[in-house]
Structure 1
């Protein structure tokens, strides 16, 4: 029976709810019945539309908040949505189902997973836990761990689960493919270990929920009846399982509203399927489409750059961003001689703008395609005392000391997770050896019990000897903590664990700097726990562990600190900064070699969407940079300017070229193509302080004299000694550690080293220095 809901008792003025929206936003917010696709361009106020739509449903349509579901991709987004709705409606916001996909699935599985043969008190395994299970499976199957590594195998299993393939389905799909057959065996063993430990991984949260709803009509109908109005944010990032979950839940009332931007679909590597949004109208007949194209973030010059680039994608829904923020500054592109020069000048420019009072460090962001690119910028920040924060580095919850305490908490919470028990049984050291642990594991397996249960019976196990007393001491300590957990919150429990186990004493034995860093991390973990309990009434240890398991890197960004932000383009999605530098705009770097050589045009389109995401992070000032040469895997790599730079509106692009004499402005008559026509893209014919005029535009760029490179301030980069001789010559076949096999086209003696031109089978033509490249004749 539906709960009686009487909104007229406290209804706000409905016109006030939608008054602040523009006409198109109002249309989207007031369209409540049937399937709706809101195509929300970058910075178009999609969260505002979603929250006002929820308020409109409650205040105007009289919908019970209990019947509304809003799905997001991050905990931060979910909390922001919940807070905004709470400010818009008088009552009922707390009853709305606002959560991430994974949190929603945990909520459903905690109630009904026993229908699938699990205990409702299941454990969620993180990446480290999963890797341990993979190693165990590879060992049990007597496979070579060098050939079957944890990372790639987890990727294979995750991809299979995202396509809703159970181990048996994957085995069938493998057919006669030897590698896939072995991977199928590993997947099967991996899944068995998870089930035996009453554990699930993140992909299982989704897959098992879909399976639960498919196999249990009563549960499906119960949730369909409750969740009559469903909204999904960032719909372009959904995978096959998430799509199926939403399809099932919305199957009765069909009031499904999805918000997304196909131009910002950048998570194909995580299983995201762009066809979910591109084919929405075909999947949900009668769907209405509303386009949000007015941007509230950026200036029109920045938006024109974004529109110009993304227009080159064939598979997209047409839209054109515009703004009332004015034209703004021209977008800049700077072509540096080296990656070192790029890093130094970018940091200098940011530091100067801060010292002049134009911006704060927190207003600025440096974006790059790969994590490896951050090193040069980090070094320059340290050298110049520029405060910075690295987003996407080592995850806080993956640090050893945090993993240790989490394992204690998991063991205290249930004791069903063998990996957690194994991790802490000798942390700190208790003198319990591997032989003892092996005996316990065998006993547990023979008697169908968990490892901790076997430990409780250690005195009954033949051959345990004195080790039984050590095991008993560990078990008793866990039992004491379990009793304390009923009285203490997680922060207090962590403090007790640190003191009573002797963990803090062990830290004091480390070098001072390391001990201090670990202590600070543990302090921060306690702060996290205290904050969670302060904001969640009647929270239990299980709830806190679920919160930790679901936390994402980006949720931990401190928006208050005045620091320059360094981050990958993927990490930047959803954020905005007044000043943005997009660095490393070079062919082979962005777009990546992998996308260029995959043979799938969709991969280049994904890279282009990533470029679009980067451009649209900028609010006032956007600068793109590239280097003519950078060190990659021990050799100097020369690259052409990225095709994405060429796709910018050239007439509105402030283009500068660096020679070792300084920066020089490119005139309007010189196109991007004319500058990048040579391999090196540089011009040494410009005099200091000059700029190109129309009459100078016909000048052709001259090849850099590399004989002189070694006398310059970057010469330290060329420290590998010149070989006495080469065992290959023009026409010979050679191999390179990164680029693979290729044919030598030319060898030139450059005094300090040999410059070798090689046409690689898959990576194209490269000019390499022999001392760095370490080419091998084949």
Structure 2
């Protein structure tokens, strides 16, 4: 505690009342939150399962988990804590109370793109609702895709507000949106899917409509902490206030000056009015105002920026001070400007970077970040191109360059070579470029040309089927021309951007097949599917913009400057920050119709006429405060436009330029770019066992993010497994079920699995699976004694990683515990890794329950009666040996050691990358 300032200590020790923490940039809020959790667990002996800690982003969530796991005892299971993003915590609450949800087990969560396509596919239903014509005429939307994007936005906003929408009697537009949302929810739940906004709404509905569930949550959760509270929306606040109930042990941390996500439904109202949720004087407020990130010049500049605007009470008044050691001996805030031309501006920026390099003030380009309102702006793109032509690498994953990369054009070109004759897509200039480029590549690849010709002939003759787009794309991976774009040895994001991007493209194509429920292309659907794919789907993706690969663990890749949006930079810090977009003002992009509708839906808070002003000031404040040692504002000063915008007049006018004598580059001292340390979270099956079988496949799946082709065998195994899980839960809850009900549940599970993976199982396979489930119900389940737990999550926390797994069944018998794991395979083949998994589970559960695990069983669902159950050796020596093996594998994963020797014939037989390994690595297991 000696390492914390007085206000930080107060935050850590104030645990038994509502607490509002206003934490400015660089004030150590994450460190303070971590210590607060440590204080609760280590000093106050609060159980981890009694704590809820939520934050806004996946990156922040993983950082919290990493830091907290290092602060608490290894005997404490961090997996019991409700910790993660707000969405992940809501999903956990839904999963734990799935019987009260409109969702069923094995539901699927739509991402942003999938949600848009779901609405697009159902557009006819929404157009049939009264008021649709007037609604879209009002917003001037004519194309179906534009209408889908528009509806998606308003559906999300309605659910984020947690409102019934209709606030004004006779408002036809709001009435239409209410009816759209009602129908949309029915469609979602019918297909057992959910989007991000409805995750929150469904969680709230379960809690508010089921008193037993709410009381259970209130009894369990004693302490709630919410990070980045200014980024929460109304439904999220309702959820947390509902859970805290009368305890009111809720601590929210945030900075209203950094509330920049209004467009996602976030509202600074939550943080500005938080104290009013409680009786007067009950909620304590503590301010963290010492900025340990930025030097004094930068902190003063940020303070002055906020003083430039009259806020009228719509922010907390605060004055930050720098707590950073003054290592910088020159100006901390300067400008790079020219009054001539954009070309001169680019040259000046380049010369500044090179001077930093030659004077050895930077040792890596990643110490520099350029921040803009948009990195898709043509001027910004031209600056990127200029720097790259001068051999300065640029990292900008959101600059909308994905579809213009050679590797993506080649992938599209190959598909065009196979299918273009179905319709003349080559009139499209972009498709023609992709096609011509690919033809040139194929000149030196006779094998691929022959293969494509064969596929084309089959499309013409419509002879049989050849899988969906995803499977077709995977069939190209072993050919020479395709291998040119793949490098599975290099890991640097920019040096190997091609491989990472191809992984993203494979994922997009996999989503297309799933969205269209496309299992195979055949004579019945080829024209419709191919036309839609090229004429609509790819066009929408290209126009929407796809981001390139980003690694949350490496936000500033070595040897490259970063070009990021203001929003993208939130939560990050850089030694040198160069802020552009100074031509923008508070009136940037005006859409009165959109705003009018938004304020009809939103709960009114800030004055409508000032919202743009407030948002403008907050987003630039967020950008300015990313700088550690040097903040630079940059623009081409066009006095007639004017640039910079008058909003910057008070802070920009007196800045010295980087070429002026007052800025002494020799006295500039910079920090290193911080490494973003995040622990790897590894699962037994998807990580440890996968790596143990094939490190190369592990790398492809987990580093390069290539999706794997799902097989019927995997779907069958998942179907049987979740059916047995359901039976065990029913027994655990002391409920009853008959054979007819089991059959209905089994078929429901299959229906949702089919929708999730788009893989159909033949009737005889379904019957076989049900027979196995029924056999378990009649001959095994009733013989179980006391069920202690079903689908129990366990975690092993080490210094560099966290291993997690799920135990299928924990049974108490004669005072000791038994664990059972269900496998759909045969009692052979992977037996060793199954046994090791049980041994690890036994080790972890003994710690948790403080009871010895005497028996471990593997239940082979597909085996004959006498071979169904295998007992696992659980003596200390065997367990210790397995633990050491697992730790060794985990260490190899963390160190990114993916070297592998001879591959196993049985493992390779159905691998998606078999053709690549066989051709490129000269591995041919058929000869072994």
Which TM bucket (shorter chain)?
0.5 to 0.7
1:592 aligns with 2:588: yes
Deviations 1:214-250 (A, max 9, x none): 0111111111111111111001111001111111111
Is the contact made by 1:351 and 1:386 (CA closer than 8 Å) also made in structure 2? no
Deviations 1:464-485 (A, max 9, x none): xxx99968x96xx9xxxxxxxx
CA spacing shift, 1:356–1:244, aligned 2, 3 Å: same
Match of 2:160 in 1: 162
Is the contact made by 1:139 and 1:145 (CA closer than 8 Å) also made in structure 2? no
Task: List aligned pairs for 1:525-544, cutoff 5 A.
Answer: none
Shift, 1:560, TM fit: 4.7
Deviations 1:547-589 (A, max 9, x none): xxxx996736444523101011111111111111111212x45
Q: Which moved more, 1:64-73 or 1:504-513?
A: 504-513
CA spacing shift, 1:138–1:226, aligned 2, 3 Å: same
1:392 aligns with 2:398: yes
Match of 1:690 in 2: none
> Secondary structure in 1 aligned to 2:316?
coil
CA spacing shift, 1:562–1:590, aligned 2, 3 Å: farther
> Secondary structure in 1 aligned to 2:655?
strand
Deviations 1:414-470 (A, max 9, x none): xxxxxxxxxxxx9998x999xxxxxxxxxxxxxxxxxxxxxxxxxxxxxxxxx9996
1:248 aligns with 2:236: no
Q: In structure 2, what is the Cα distance between the partners aligned to 1:209 and 1:134?
A: 22
Is the contact made by 1:44 and 1:295 (CA closer than 8 Å) also made in structure 2? yes
Q: In structure 2, what is the Cα distance between the partners aligned to 1:427 and 1:211?
A: 50
Match of 1:358 in 2: 361
Is the contact made by 1:224 and 1:252 (CA closer than 8 Å) also made in structure 2? no
1:62 aligns with 2:66: no
Q: In structure 2, what is the Cα distance between the partners aligned to 1:323 and 1:37?
A: 22
> Secondary structure in 2 aligned to 1:594?
coil
Match of 1:322 in 2: 321
Shift, 1:134, TM fit: 2.1
* Unmatched segments (≥5 aa) in structure 1: 1-17, 406-425, 434-466, 478-496, 529-550, 631-636, 658-662, 668-778
CA spacing shift, 1:601–1:525, aligned 2, 3 Å: closer
Task: List aligned pairs for 1:81-480, cutoff 5 A.
Answer: 81-91=64-74, 92=76, 94=78, 95-140=80-125, 141=127, 145-146=142-143, 149-165=147-163, 169-170=164-165, 172-173=166-167, 176-285=170-279, 286-311=282-307, 312=309, 313-314=311-312, 315-324=314-323, 325-326=325-326, 329-337=331-339, 338-359=341-362, 360-371=364-375, 372=377, 373-393=379-399
Task: List aligned pairs for 1:25-44, cutoff 5 A.
Answer: 25-44=8-27
Is the contact made by 2:292 and 2:322 (CA closer than 8 Å) also made in structure 1? yes
CA spacing shift, 1:207–1:397, aligned 2, 3 Å: farther
CA spacing shift, 1:469–1:186, aligned 2, 3 Å: farther
Match of 1:625 in 2: 634
Match of 2:656 in 1: 655
Q: In structure 2, what is the Cα distance between the partners aligned to 1:607 and 1:154?
A: 25
Task: List aligned pairs for 1:688-703, cutoff 5 A.
Answer: none
1:642 aligns with 2:649: no
CA spacing shift, 1:370–1:503, aligned 2, 3 Å: same
Q: In structure 2, what is the Cα distance between the partners aligned to 1:602 and 1:526?
A: 38
Q: In structure 2, what is the Cα distance between the partners aligned to 1:513 and 1:210?
A: 50
Q: In structure 1, what is the Cα distance between the partners aligned to 2:249 and 2:405?
A: 43
Is the contact made by 1:391 and 1:554 (CA closer than 8 Å) also made in structure 2? no
Match of 1:613 in 2: 622
Is the contact made by 2:476 and 2:482 (CA closer than 8 Å) also made in structure 1? no
Is the contact made by 1:387 and 1:563 (CA closer than 8 Å) also made in structure 2? yes
Shift, 1:36, TM fit: 0.6
Is the contact made by 1:51 and 1:84 (CA closer than 8 Å) also made in structure 2? yes
1:504 aligns with 2:508: no
Is the contact made by 1:297 and 1:619 (CA closer than 8 Å) also made in structure 2? yes
Shift, 1:301, TM fit: 0.7
Q: In structure 1, what is the Cα distance between the partners aligned to 2:291 and 2:585?
A: 29
> Secondary structure in 2 aligned to 1:69?
strand
Is the contact made by 1:330 and 1:654 (CA closer than 8 Å) also made in structure 2? no
Q: How many residues align?
A: 535
Shift, 1:32, TM fit: 1.1
Shift, 1:303, TM fit: 0.4
Shift, 1:190, TM fit: 3.2
Shift, 1:113, TM fit: 3.4
Shift, 1:513, TM fit: 6.9
CA spacing shift, 1:89–1:398, aligned 2, 3 Å: farther
> Secondary structure in 2 aligned to 1:571?
coil
Match of 1:20 in 2: 3
Give me the TM-score of the superposition, normalised by structure 1. Answer: 0.61
CA spacing shift, 1:639–1:187, aligned 2, 3 Å: farther
CA spacing shift, 1:664–1:114, aligned 2, 3 Å: same
Q: In structure 1, what is the Cα distance between the partners aligned to 2:505 and 2:581?
A: 39
> Secondary structure in 1 aligned to 2:476?
helix
CA spacing shift, 1:352–1:374, aligned 2, 3 Å: same
Give me the TM-score of the superposition, normalised by structure 2. Answer: 0.52
Match of 2:499 in 1: 520
Is the contact made by 2:395 and 2:557 (CA closer than 8 Å) also made in structure 1? no
Q: In structure 1, what is the Cα distance between the partners aligned to 2:478 and 2:305?
A: 52
Q: In structure 2, what is the Cα distance between the partners aligned to 1:527 and 1:47?
A: 36
Q: In structure 1, what is the Cα distance between the partners aligned to 2:404 and 2:33?
A: 34
> Secondary structure in 1 aligned to 2:17?
coil
Is the contact made by 1:78 and 1:100 (CA closer than 8 Å) also made in structure 2? yes
Is the contact made by 2:575 and 2:627 (CA closer than 8 Å) also made in structure 1? yes
1:576 aligns with 2:573: yes
Q: In structure 2, what is the Cα distance between the partners aligned to 1:52 and 1:162?
A: 31
Q: In structure 2, what is the Cα distance between the partners aligned to 1:196 and 1:111?
A: 20
Is the contact made by 2:366 and 2:560 (CA closer than 8 Å) also made in structure 1? yes
Q: In structure 2, what is the Cα distance between the partners aligned to 1:32 and 1:519?
A: 50
Match of 2:610 in 1: 601
Shift, 1:66, TM fit: 1.7
* Unmatched segments (≥5 aa) in structure 2: 134-140, 424-460, 488-495, 508-547, 596-607, 664-928
Deviations 1:600-631 (A, max 9, x none): 2122111111111111111111111222349x
Shift, 1:180, TM fit: 4.5
Q: In structure 1, what is the Cα distance between the partners aligned to 2:183 and 2:478?
A: 37
Deviations 1:12-58 (A, max 9, x none): xxxxxx12111221111111111011111110100110011111111
> Secondary structure in 1 aligned to 2:247?
coil
Is the contact made by 2:586 and 2:613 (CA closer than 8 Å) also made in structure 1? no
Deviations 1:85-115 (A, max 9, x none): 2222224252332211111111122232342
Shift, 1:178, TM fit: 4.9
Q: In structure 1, what is the Cα distance between the partners aligned to 2:142 and 2:395?
A: 36
> Secondary structure in 2 aligned to 1:219?
helix
